């Protein structure tokens, strides 16, 4: 009897796992990948938060494959240092919106600096393997330039 109970439990496990895999596959086939994968603004926010908290490896996962081929760790470290020297660093980041056109998108992220200033950044993204990835870190460099402008205005 115990052996039969074990087989029934194993059968239920296989059925449950199979149903879960089937649901995920079906969602992807129906183009419902956004239910599983984060939207562009959340991916861009992840990048900014990763840089702010010095989790460069995690932040690098938000980058496109072509950017990951470059020495992004050093670039992200330099960006973090530059922003920290200019404004004390990043206090918070919130992805607020995005526009998608096929396999490209543009995401807006509001970045709050530790000096209290808020800056809106606009990140380009590409879809790779059904996931949104940041296509350029140029907006982070623009943040550094914006900080310099804010500092000059405060003088």
Residue 4 pLDDT: 64
Pairing of strands 104-113, 90-101: antiparallel
Q: What's the CA gap between 34 and 131, in Å, rounded? A: 9
- 39-48, 84-93, 115-124, range with greatest mean pLDDT: 39-48
CA dihedral 53→48→67→108, nearest 10 degrees, is 170
So where are the chain's domains?
1-36, 38-154
First to last CA, the chain: 83
Q: What is the CATH number of domain 38-154?
A: 3.10.450.100
Q: What's the CA gap between 110 and 97, in Å, rounded? A: 10
Q: What is the pLDDT of residues 117-144, one digit of tens each?
A: 899 999 999 999 999 999 999 999 888 7
Mean local confidence (pLDDT), 71-81: 87
């Amino acid at each position: 009897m115990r052996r039969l109970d074990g087989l029934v439990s194993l059968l239920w496990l296989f059925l449950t796992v199979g149903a879960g895999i089937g649901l995920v596959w079906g969602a992807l086939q129906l183009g419902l990948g956004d239910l599983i994968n984060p939207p562009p603004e959340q991916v861009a926010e992840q990048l900014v938060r990763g840089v702010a908290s010095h989790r460069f490896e995690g932040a690098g996962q938000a980058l496109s494959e072509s950017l990951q081929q470059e020495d992004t760790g050093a670039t992200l470290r330099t960006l973090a240092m530059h922003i920290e020297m200019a404004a004390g660093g990043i206090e918070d980041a919130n992805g607020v919106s995005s526009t998608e056109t096929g396999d490209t998108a543009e995401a807006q992220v509001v970045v709050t600096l530790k000096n209290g200033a808020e800056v809106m950044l606009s990140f380009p993204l590409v879809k790779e393997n059904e996931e949104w990835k940041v296509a350029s870190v140029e907006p982070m460099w623009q943040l550094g330039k914006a900080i310099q402008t804010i500092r000059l205005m405060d003088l």
